Amino acid sequence: MIQRTGRRRGALLLAATVAVTLAAAGCGNGDDGGSGGGKNVAVSLITKNSTNPFFVTMQEGAKKAAAAEGVKLTVAAGKEDGDEAGQVQAIEDAIARGDAGILITPNGPGVNPAIKKARDAGLYVIALDTPPDPPNTVDITFATDNFKAGELIGKWTAAQLGGKPATIALLDLFNDKVVSVDYDRDQGFLTGMGIDTVDKKKNGDEAKTGKYSGGSYTIACNEPTNGAEDGGRTAMESCLTKTSGINVVYTINEPAAVGAYKALQAAGAKDILVVSVDGGCDGVRQVKDGVIGATSQQYPLKMAELGVQAIKKIAKDGQKPQVTGGLDFFDTGVSLVTDKPASGVESITSTDGAQRCWG
């Protein structure tokens, strides 16, 4: 009796051991995530902030792609546009976790040393939307051609003016740090207008008066907005105190454009051409409503999805993405959205833009 009980216990123990072994093997295969390394590929997305709809959409796109690809995603952000310290901490956290890669929209050159540290630790780093300066700070950038985005709204503006004098307010991103997206859009806009920009990597060094492609121009101001609505309103109010007769307002993005428009309304200003870059669903509605005359539409969802997929491929088989021919980044595309098309400037309507917004 005692002998049979011992045998039964031995059989049960053996069965349990086999079951645990099989379960462990099953968990290992199921948690692989396609990485080939026995665990999920871990990726961090670090945006400039979590309030701008552009970056909210980017976060949503990354989450969707991560779910589809079996990638473990961590989302982090600066407290506001320009918060380099918050992004540096998020990079440090990604290194400590042993993530495979980082997707980041850099808040400024202050994050560059942390990016280098991440790459030295073996993480693959992709910039989204905002190429760092210098571009080789990261492994590759997935972004809008921001110079082209600015150039499109500049060409459209020059055509709409029809030779009339242009008094221009330039509502930029920063005045205390240099970020490529800032000078690319600003300088692209002026180039599209036919204005000599002197140094394409520096805002504000163009002649304050001169000739654009259709007539004469005056630069009324260069003011920072921090890419926010309240910043746009304050910047526009400042410009209005300096110069009368402003009839063109360039804005770094659509939140700044909305703030500028509210300041113009409060001042009783009319018939002002307001142009911007973003092409979000709200921005497209603003084009339809006449708040913004034209905007260059970007595709942050695509940037995020491609970024997640790229790091998954690198972790799985070492396959790295390539830049677009003739550029030092991967171009995710741009379209001019306006309901007042200009001859010689390719564009889509606000109806078309609404169907594509931030896809």
Same fold? 41-144+301-321, 146-297+335-356: yes
- What token pair was written down for 118? 């991440």
What span, in angstroms and rounded, lies between the C-alpha atoms of 104 and 118? Answer: 12
Q: E strands within 261-352?
A: 273-278, 294-297, 330-331, 335-338
CATH number for 146-297+335-356 (one of 1.10.8.640, 3.40.50.720, 3.40.50.970, 3.40.50.2300): it is: 3.40.50.2300
In the CATH hierarchy, which fold is given to the domain comprising 41-144+301-321?
Rossmann fold (3.40.50)
Cβ contacts of residue 196 below 8 Å, gap of 6+?
206, 207, 210
Phi-psi region of 163 (alpha: psi -120 to 50; beta: other; left: phi over 0): left
Per-residue model confidence as pLDDT tens digits over 14-26: 333 333 332 322 3
Which residues, listed in sequence order, are joined to residue 47 by a DSSP beta bridge? 77
> Three-state SS for 250?
strand
- Smallest CA-to-CA distance from 299 within 223, 231, 358 is with 358
Q: Where are the domains of the chain?
A: 41-144+301-321, 146-297+335-356
pLDDT at 39: 66
Give the E-state strand segments of 215-348 in sequence order: 216-224, 248-251, 273-278, 294-297, 330-331, 335-338
CA–CA gap between residue 298 and residue 336 (Å, rounded): 9
Residue 359 CA to residue 348 CA, distance in Å, equals 15
Provide the residue type at 15 as one letter.
A
Task: Please list the rounded mean pLDDT of every run of 10 residues in the chain (359 residues).
Answer: 37 35 31 47 97 94 97 97 96 98 96 98 96 94 97 98 98 94 97 97 96 98 97 98 96 98 97 97 97 97 97 95 95 98 97 92
Q: At what angle do helices 229-242 and 254-266 cross, to 10 degrees?
A: 50
Stated pTM of the model: 0.83
Task: Report pLDDT for 29.
Answer: 31
Per-residue pLDDT tens digits for 114-149 = 999 999 999 999 999 989 989 999 999 999 999 999
